[in-house]
Chains A and B, each alone.
Chain A
Amino acid sequence: GDSVTQMEGPVTLSEEAFLTINCTYTATGYPSLFWYVQYPGEGLQLLLKATKADDKGSNKGFEATYRKETTSFHLEKGSVQVSDSAVYFCALSERTGANNLFFGTGTRLTVIP
């Protein structure tokens, strides 16, 4: 079945540090890949997406590249800010059936000044 494995947290970084959160997936088909973010006290928000191999999703300084050969979709940001503190979820969606999302367990990021 489909699944997403995410780097376990929590992750604590100093402001302006480089961020990588690893994500690998298992899928029966050719999924779309997503990163969602959950800020404290708020709902899940789509951060970025990629729909085919070698696509790079990007938003708010975050990037992730769809790597079919390694079944990975690692999230990166060159210089984190305190406001990036949140829980980050990697997810996939197959292109058939319900197209429901399969989520990883989430990685909590705390950025300290």
Chain B
Amino acid sequence: DTGVSQNPRHKITKRGQNVTFRCDPISEHNRLYWYRQTLGQGPEFLTYFQNEAQLEKSRLLSDRFSAERPKGSFSTLEIQRTEQGDSAMYLCASSPLSSSYNEQFFGPGTRLTVL
């Protein structure tokens, strides 16, 4: 399977703990995106990488959130001092730079529950 993969698929944590999620995009996809989806809503953009450079961050990405893509391949999203409002599905997507219409391929997501 050469699709986008995400780990873990589920994470339950207590308020105040730190969590880290990983995304492995489709090989050779330069663009990588993180989105957050809450129940009954569409995904909302969090941040964007082109290769290893983080080029854009949404205002939704508070200072407790940090994302990296150190070698331009996999990416991690860390949430520090989690709050109950962080409970959501975190989605990763990738696309090739060559795509003129930016078709994004999504991973299965990591569902975070903060108790």
Contacts and interface: CB of A to CB of B under 8 A. Distances in A.
Interface size, B (range): 20 to 34
Interface string B37-80: 00011111100100000011000000000000000000000000
Nearest to B105: A46
A51 interface: yes
B106 A100 contact: no
Q: Which bucket holds chain A's interface residue count?
A: 20 to 34
B51 to A, nearest CB: 13
A25 interface: no
B109 interface: yes
Interface of B: 4, 31, 33, 35, 40-45, 48, 55-56, 91, 93, 95, 100-109
30 contacts: A6-B42, A32-B101, A34-B103, A43-B4, A43-B91, A43-B109, A44-B43, A44-B91, A44-B93, A45-B106, A46-B105, A49-B103, A89-B42, A95-B102, A97-B56, A98-B33, A98-B48, A98-B56, A99-B48, A99-B95, A100-B33, A100-B45, A100-B48, A100-B56, A101-B45, A101-B104, A102-B45, A104-B42, A105-B42, A106-B40
